[in-house]
Amino acid sequence: MAEAPHDPSVSVVIPTFRSGPGLDRAIASLDAQTLPQDDLEVLLLDDGSPDDTAARIEQVAAGRANYRAFALEPSGWPSRPRNIGVREARGRYVLFLDHDDELYPDALRAAVALGDAAGADVVNGKEVRTQIARWGLTHYTHDTADASAEPLRGLLPMTPHKLYRRAFLVEHDIRFPEAPRHLWEDLFFHVDVIRHEPAVALLSSTPFYHWRKTAENNSTSTDGTRLDYSGDPEYWPYLDKLFRLVSGVEKPEIRDELLAQNVHVRLVSQLGQRATDTGDAGGASVAEARAEIARMLATYVPAELDALLPERSRVAITLFRAGHADAAAEFLRDGIDRKPDFTVTAVEDAGDGSVTVSGTVAWSRVPGQPFARRTTSGEVVRDLPEPLAGLLAEHGLTPTADVADAFVEVAIRHAPTRVNWLLPSTSQVALVEQEDGTLEPAGTFTARFDPATAAMGGALPAGAHLVLGMCELDGRTGIKRAFSDLPAGTGVGPVVLDYSAQDGLLLRLPADVPPARKGLLGRLRRG
């Protein structure tokens, strides 16, 4: 007697619309999964494409027993195909995959194993972006079966590229908002997810989702509208709708954290604009933005929630609430041109299989505005222009010149796959006196890693790895590629130094990284 077919563990839901070659890449990544294909189903849902996409997905499904294709009437946005996918899915978990993105080979197996072991409603797997090296770097630092203590219960970043327990979505009727065009549909979806207090597990040790930046991005509407909504005529109406939804979240601590997150990300970003930068038409736009910000703060965000904001955003909002919109914009822009220069001066083999990377960081000077100066009494203070400095002092908000909280963390990013890993790092940043007597921040860093274990206990893959510095100063974080004058082609322990005009310093690893022999030291140093 034939064994009855079992329901799959995962249903992958892929909305399609005028899909280009990225769809082939997405399908190839599903074919390459270590999770057995009979434990996986794929639902391809075409949103009324005017080209041959519907025929393409029918052909793909015809050649794979675990695929199903759906030709839908056009809705204009990926929300409806995703909702239909949840309804039609048979898996315990649902994953929403954009039609031009891809999964890493062990993604589904590892996520299902963690989700089952943790009893999770959501598994938030390590996500990377093609062109944004910093994306997710500080979120995916560890694995945990219970992410309730993480910011926003472990759901950051709030993209829909996670594993969701289908029964949880169905039980609470959690759906993407449907409209021919709906800004931030993933945020609206996640407000409904988080308000039901899901059990979230965090998977960082296994690369999960590669969000590719291409012209095919599935969050673009059928009329080709760009994904960046800043300046969009619907920006403020939809943001008001989002704040209204968040303000109705029942649990106060969840509601307040969501409100603060959206103030920080979506209001403060608009507050940094200055009318003088954009001319008459831009000035009108800035005035409108400021009026909308004031209205939303007054309507949805009590002043006591400002304490939940990061310091730079908190200071700016405090100034804005007090009627100093220009000063708030000036404060947000203060130091925006101060960029870190991240230089590797030494790469050493510790003799035990570990490699040490060390170097310097210095932030570029802003003409006419030093970071700090000494007063006539010898006190070290921040150098800020008037009237900003006076207004900050009036409200007790003067930024400190102390750089004790500044730091550098070193990361490496596998060039072929874009997967990045933070390395154990130490750093020191201090104020250095310049020839003109002013003070500028600069420092040193050291990172030590074993290629056999640097990927959160796993081995780094073969190939080129970019060396990156995540440099934090005065509430601003910049991530920079490393540059160096160390000679290319030199082997240091298990790595070989190389360079790219675009990427800077690269560390190349062979296909098999042998353990270093005790006492066999490599050393390379300049400066």
Q: For 27-36, 168-177, 237-246, 397-406, which range has the lowest pLDDT when averaged over its residues?
A: 397-406
Instruction: Report if residue 17 sits inside a domain.
Output: yes
pLDDT for res 151: 96
Q: For 139-143, 314-318, 365-369, which range has the lowest pLDDT when averaged over its residues?
A: 365-369
Domain count, the chain: 3
Q: Give yes or no: residues 205 and 273 share one domain.
A: no
Q: Give yes or no: residues 65 and 182 share one domain.
A: yes
The values of phi and psi at residue 365, to 5°, are -80, 145
Q: Give yes or no: residues 102 and 202 share one domain.
A: yes
pLDDT for res 351: 83
Report the distance separating Cα 233 and Cα 504, nearest Å.
40
Angle at CA 129, nearest 5°, toward 119 and 332? 105
Condensed to tens digits (0 to 9), the pLDDT of residues 419-447 reads: 999 999 999 999 999 999 999 999 999 99
Q: For 102-111, 281-290, 392-401, which range has the lowest pLDDT when averaged over its residues?
A: 281-290
Condensed to tens digits (0 to 9), the pLDDT of residues 472-484 reads: 999 899 899 999 9
Q: Give yes or no: residues 16 and 109 share one domain.
A: yes
Q: Are the C-beta atoms of 306 and 261 separated by less than 8 Å?
A: no
Q: For 99-103, 179-183, 512-516, which range has the lowest pLDDT when averaged over its residues?
A: 512-516
Q: Give yes or no: residues 15 and 162 share one domain.
A: yes
- The residue among 178, 211, 244 that closes a domain is 211
Instruction: Report if residue 381 sits inside a domain.
Output: no
Strands (E), 435-511: 439-449, 463-473, 476-481, 491-492, 495-500, 504-509
pLDDT for res 168: 98
Report the distance separating Cα 389 and Cα 427, nearest Å.
30
- 175: DSSP letter: -
Q: Give yes or no: residues 448 and 490 share one domain.
A: yes
Return the CATH number at 139: 3.90.550.10
Reported as a pLDDT band with limits 50, 70 and 90, residue 277 is low
Q: Give yes or no: residues 349 and 439 share one domain.
A: yes
Report the distance separating Cα 91 and Cα 491, nearest Å.
48
What is the distance of C-alpha 475 from the center of its chain? 17
Instruction: Report if residue 230 sits inside a domain.
Output: no
Q: Are the C-beta atoms of 26 and 216 separated by less than 8 Å?
A: no
Instruction: Report if residue 34 sits inside a domain.
Output: yes
Q: Give yes or no: residues 436 and 290 share one domain.
A: no
C-alpha closest to that of 148 among 244, 257, 246:
257
Q: Give yes or no: residues 354 and 260 share one domain.
A: no
Q: Are the C-beta atoms of 17 and 54 separated by less than 8 Å?
A: no
Domain membership of residue 48 as a residue range: 10-211
Instruction: Report if residue 109 sits inside a domain.
Output: yes
Instruction: Report if residue 224 sits inside a domain.
Output: no
Q: Give yes or no: residues 202 and 309 share one domain.
A: no
Q: Give yes or no: residues 246 and 153 share one domain.
A: no
Across the range 261-288, mean pLDDT stands at 78
Strand partners, 465: 414, 507
Q: Give yes or no: residues 483 and 345 share one domain.
A: yes
Torsion of CA 264, 384, 426, 207, to 10 degrees: 30
Instruction: Report if residue 494 sits inside a domain.
Output: yes
Report the distance separating Cα 424 and Cα 449, nearest Å.
7
More confident residue, 502 or 106: 106
For the chain, what is the mean pLDDT?
91
Instruction: Report if residue 228 sits inside a domain.
Output: no
pLDDT for res 21: 93
